[in-house]
Chain A
Amino acid sequence: MKNILEIKNLYKKYDNFELKDVSFNLPKGTIMGFIGENGAGKTTTIKAILNIIQSYSGHIKIFGLDNRKDEKQIKEDIGVVLDDMFFPEILTPNDINKSMAGIYKNWDSKMFQYYLKEFHLLPNKQIKTFSKGMRKKLEIATALAHKPKLLILDEPTSGLDPIARAEIISIFQKFIEDADCSILLSSHITTDLEHIADYITFISNGKILLSKATNELLDKYGIVKCTEAEFKKIDKKDYVKYKKTKYQYEVLTTDKKSFKSKYDIKVIDKITLDDLMVLMIKGEE
């Protein structure tokens, strides 16, 4: 089994939104950043993986098993952080510890307590007294303490300050030191992903726009900055999208090197995931 998660032709229709033929693979031992604008379909895709929504078509395989037929077995080995969905807030971390011990076969109370200490969370305080960041940390501790093989995290770092984010990201990195484990991580904070994600999958308006190794993406893609006259000379085949700004044209190329050799344009900037998202979504073809 090379891929820990395989999604093939996932399709789901709502009244005002459609998930169209979503397909991508998450290889073992890697972190995949799942990016896209608000309402792009990230959470819907994650809900389908976990069968929180059911009336979709397509195939989802996790650990090589069918996510519907072998649901129970699969879920023993998945840790999740979902956006805004968790234990009722009148419970305490201690209550969660006791409950989870009766839910997961592999629940490790000591490990949970270790994370509580690490994150400075008091075990006897009700969740409702926790700040947003503390809640996220508790959710992450809960997701990790049954030693899952796959972490599915929907916006796990949202609402956290840079120090807490760095702390949590180093925990994720430690997590995939075990070559059998993988993480699917959706986030708006793309700078975090540039550091830790091995792959980037970009979804927009219910469609996967790209799913690639982060290195390849950041090395090969580039933003050409040029004048209108220079832009008019560029062959349409050589760029994906462009955006006209006040003083210049910003053009997205998927191959900096060959672009450079073909055209006499000096400024080709390195791309960031934020640039990529803005140009892909807002740019013109």
Chain B
Amino acid sequence: MLGFIKKDLAMIKSNFKLLEILIVIYTLMGICGEMDISFILPFMSVMIMISTFSYDNYNKWDAYAISLPDGRKNSVRSKYVATILMVFIVSIITLLLSFIISYINTKTINYEQILISLLGTIFATLLVLTFMYPIIYKFGVEKARIGIFIIVFVMIIIGSFLAQYLDMTFIGKSLSFLENYLVIILIIITIIMVYLSYKISQKIFMKKEF
């Protein structure tokens, strides 16, 4: 599998510049006390990984990959591992930067808040991966692009519906109950989601013909 991951990372190395620019913008905006855009970095790393599917598709890599040892299994597995790896590396960079920005601005570091907000970002980012990858494997990356708009649209509608009609005090209460376990619950949910998504993608790709 290592070879497949190396191939994916080699493909996106030209995009690292874009990440570097975003890191600079993020740092400057943070220091100037502008909007916090820390969510953008991990999110971009998933978007960059999704672009590898386009390159693969263009040169019919998938068919070639199947001719390699354990190609079907490793193709899918490496995409998930490489993406998660990217998200974590970028998240750690974001975390360190956030600490520095926080220190420059307030002379203290609000560890808890930064960690929780980053964790939320990782959760949301992996949510994109969870939904997008099986769709990409099933319908191809071009059609899946439409999929991401639909997913975001549906999430906004559901969110605004919940905000309007649900008794917020109830949510507030259950949240305060969950608060102590929130982090652990989020991590467990994320792991289960990503695992199921991986299994579904695997199943789709195992049957695919080119």
Contact = CB atoms under 8 A, between A and B. Distances in A.
B68 A95 contact: no
B59 A86 contact: yes
B209 A85 contact: no
Interface string B1-20: 11111110011001000000
A203 B71 CA distance: 28
B4 A50 contact: no
Interface in A83-121: 84-92, 95-96, 98-105
Contacts of A99: 3-4, 6-7, 10
A53 interface: yes
For chain A, give the interface size range. Answer: 20 to 34
B95 interface: no
Given A98-B6, A99-B7, A87 B69 contact: no
B207 to A, nearest CB: 7
B58 interface: yes
A88 B3 contact: no
Contact of B69 (A52, A76, A90, A98): A76
A91 B10 contact: yes
A49 to B, nearest CB: 9
Interface residues of B, number: 29
A102 B2 contact: yes
A152 to B, nearest CB: 8
B6 A102 contact: yes
- Most chain B CB neighbours (cut-off 10 Å) among A52, A76, A82, A98: A52
Contact of B67 (A52, A54, A55): A52
A78 B60 CA distance: 19
A95 B10 contact: yes
Interface string B53-66: 00110111101101
A191 interface: no
Contacts of A84: 60
A82 B11 contact: no
Nearest to A73: B69
A207 interface: no
A109 to B, nearest CB: 12
A85 B4 contact: no
Nearest to A143: B67
Interface in B46-88: 52, 55-56, 58-61, 63-64, 66-71, 74
Interface string A47-74: 1001111110000000000000001100
A87 B209 contact: no
A188 to B, nearest CB: 20
Contacts of A54: 207, 209
A50 B69 CA distance: 10
A255 to B, nearest CB: 40
A103 B4 contact: yes
A75 B10 contact: no
A80 interface: yes
Contact of B66 (A50, A86, A92, A105): A50
Contact of A88 (B1, B56, B66, B210): B56
Contacts of A91: 7, 10-11
Contacts of B61: 85-88
A90 B11 contact: yes
Interface string A188-219: 00000000000000000000000000000000
A178 to B, nearest CB: 21
Interface of A: 47, 50-55, 71-72, 75-76, 78, 80, 82, 84-92, 95-96, 98-105, 152
9 contacts: A50-B67, A52-B210, A82-B63, A85-B61, A90-B55, A96-B7, A102-B1, A102-B2, A103-B68
Interface of B: 1-7, 10-11, 14, 52, 55-56, 58-61, 63-64, 66-71, 74, 207, 209-210
Given A100-B3, A103-B68, 12 more contacts: A47-B210, A52-B210, A75-B67, A76-B69, A80-B67, A85-B210, A88-B52, A90-B14, A95-B10, A96-B7, A103-B74, A104-B68
